[in-house]
Amino acid sequence: MILNKYRTEKDISACGLFGFINEDGKRQNGEIARKAMALMRERSNGLGGGFAAYGIYPEYDDLYAFHVMYDDEKSKERTEEFLSKNFIIGKDEKMPHRHVNAIKTHPLLWRYFLKVKEHKQDLAEIEEKDFVVKTVMQVNSVLEGAYIFSSGKNMGIFKAVGYPEDVADFFKIEDYHGYIWTAHGRFPTNTPGWWGGAHPFGLLNWSVVHNGEISSYGANKRYLEMFGYKCTLMTDTEVVAYLADLLMRKHQISIEKACSVLAPRFWKDIEGMSEKEKKEHTLLRQYYGSAMLNGPFAVLIANEKNLIGVNDRIKLRPLVAARRKSTLYIASEESAILEVCEKPDKVWHPKAGIPTIGTLKDK
């Protein structure tokens, strides 16, 4: 916080992003992400912070890990009754957290490790993951006071209203060890600062942290609704998570192509491509025009294998990348990377609309 001579706060903030992937699979605790975010404290305003980490639940890696926030005991009972109809609950527990001065109140936070029950006849056709998506959508849109904010396997999302470093302390993220971490500090403008509205947003193994505003939200939301995704979280970022799921999981499109859907090449650039590329990009724009993200954004998308950083088509929000050996870092500011990696081999500024991708090496 910068105080002027009248000791009033000067507004110079925006959202801050940080993420890294150890492509060799080495797991590290949340301290790195916490430290990087603390350096970018100026980019958030205390109304939301969060972390996503991959590889944190190896002992339960075949079970879906649901992180859920409840308004009260009643919504918890209702949700558990609903979940137990179709899931075997392998383990459920209060999410570990400690008291932090900066976080005065919090919802009930519960964690479940789940398996889909042997399908009854009527569920047999639905692919298991689609069924999990449907369950998450149902709980979040229909069951009052309950919000599933993490639903992948061997990964988890931790988020709250607060500065990122307070959120890290609250959830004891130093106890979790992951090979991919993403983190976010929020400066909400269009939507209220509520726990569910903090980033990352997740669905299955996808997690998204986002700095920006999606001016095409109305078009994206109505497009996603046709595929059964319900946008209920009062924020534009959730469409990025659902688009990632639709494009890369359901439609099996490569990461590069999916990023070209989110931030399409300009027609003037497509004109100059080889015939093959021209056709590919034209097809993507013809099919997925309604999935294009318009407006200023820098976004980190992660799943169990990849960390993807991508900007809007004219790079209206900052994104910097660096590499040291098998670790790829992507952040809003170079300083955040240097804070946790003193001597990177290479630092660069990804071009508008061109994704930066780190991928876990096959063992």
Partner 1 sequence: MNDFKTNANWTASVISDIKKQAETGGMLLTGMGNPSPYPNYWDRILLDASQVTNPSIDPLREPMELRTFLGRKSSKLEKETYPQLELSTPIMFSAMSYGSISLNTCKSLAMAATDSGIYWNTGEGGLHKDLYKYANRAIVQVASGRFGVHEEYLRAGAAIEIKVGQGAKPGIGGHLPGEKVSKEISETRMIPEGTDAISPAPHHDIYSIEDLRQLIYALKEATDYEKPVIVKIAAVHNSAAIASGMVRAGADIIALDGFRGGTGATPMIVRNHTGIPIELALASVDQRLRDEGIRNDASVVVAGGFRSSADIIKAIALGADSVYIASSALIAVGCTMCQKCYTGKCAWGITTQDPELVKRINPEIAKKRLNNLIRAWSLEIKEVLGSMGINAVESLRGNKERLRGIGLNETELKILGIKHAGE
Nearer to partner 1, 284 or 338 (CB): 284
Minimum distance from residue 294 beta carbon to partner 1 (Å): 4
Site for partner 1 in 260-279 (CB under 8 A): 264, 266-268
Q: Which of 93, 124, 300, 68 is nearest to 200 (CA)?
A: 300
Nearer to partner 1, 65 or 298 (CB): 298
By CB under 8 A, residue 219 contacts partner 1: yes
Nearer to partner 1, 287 or 348 (CB): 287
By CB under 8 A, residue 287 contacts partner 1: yes
Site for partner 1 in 310-329 (CB under 8 A): 313-314, 316
What amino acid occupies position 246? Answer: L
Binding string to partner 1 for residues 144 to 183, with x set by CB under 8 A, is what?
A: ----------------------------------------
- Catalytic-residue membership of 15: yes
Report the relative pairing of strands 206-212 and 327-331 from DSSP bridges: unpaired
Reading phi first (left if > 0) and then psi (alpha if -120 to 50, else beta), residue 206 is in beta
Q: What are the CA-CA distances from residue 207 to residues 6, 123, 153 (Å)?
A: 41, 26, 12
Minimum distance from residue 15 beta carbon to partner 1 (Å): 10
By CB under 8 A, residue 290 contacts partner 1: yes
Nearer to partner 1, 225 or 345 (CB): 225
Which of the residues 15, 231, 259, 341 is marked catalytic?
15
Cis peptide leading into residue 200 (ω within 30°): yes
By CB under 8 A, residue 225 contacts partner 1: yes
- Residue 307 is encoded by which pair of tokens? 């960390």
Inter-residue contact 330 to 340 (CB < 8 Å) = no
By CB under 8 A, residue 12 contacts partner 1: no
- Residue 191 is encoded by which pair of tokens? 């939507």
Q: Which of 43, 67, 38, 69 is nearest to 168 (CA)?
A: 38
Dihedral sign, Cα of residue 154, residue 202, residue 96, residue 92: negative
Report the relative pairing of strands 346-348 and 28-29 from DSSP bridges: unpaired
Burial-class residue 53 by CB neighbours within 10 Å (0-12, 13-18, 19+).
Answer: buried
By CB under 8 A, residue 284 contacts partner 1: yes
Minimum distance from residue 126 beta carbon to partner 1 (Å): 16
Q: Which residue, chain included where needed, has tokens 């149902």? A: 138
Minimum distance from residue 222 beta carbon to partner 1 (Å): 5
Gap between the Cα atoms of 17 and 35, Å rounded: 12
By CB under 8 A, residue 348 contacts partner 1: no
Site for partner 1 in 232-251 (CB under 8 A): 250-251
Calculate the dihedral angle through the C-alpha atoms of 205, 95, 30, 319, rounding to the nearest 10 degrees. 50
Binding string to partner 1 for residues 180 to 199, with x set by CB under 8 A, is what?
A: ---------xx---------
By CB under 8 A, residue 292 contacts partner 1: yes
At 99 the three-state DSSP class reads coil
Q: What are the CA-CA distances from residue 320 to residues 7, 19, 51, 133 (Å)?
A: 32, 11, 19, 32
By CB under 8 A, residue 227 contacts partner 1: yes
What does the radius of gyration of the chain's CA atoms come to, in whole angstroms?
20
- Site size for partner 1 (CB under 8 A): 38
Nearer to partner 1, 11 or 362 (CB): 11
Task: Single out the segment in contact with partner 1 by CB under 8 A; choices: 69-77, 106-114, 224-232, 326-334.
Answer: 224-232
347 bridge partner residues: 322
- The residues annotated as belonging to the active site are 15
Q: Where does this chain bind partner 1 (CB under 8 A)?
A: 189-190, 212-213, 215-219, 221-223, 225-227, 250-251, 253, 257, 264, 266-268, 283-290, 292, 294-296, 313-314, 316
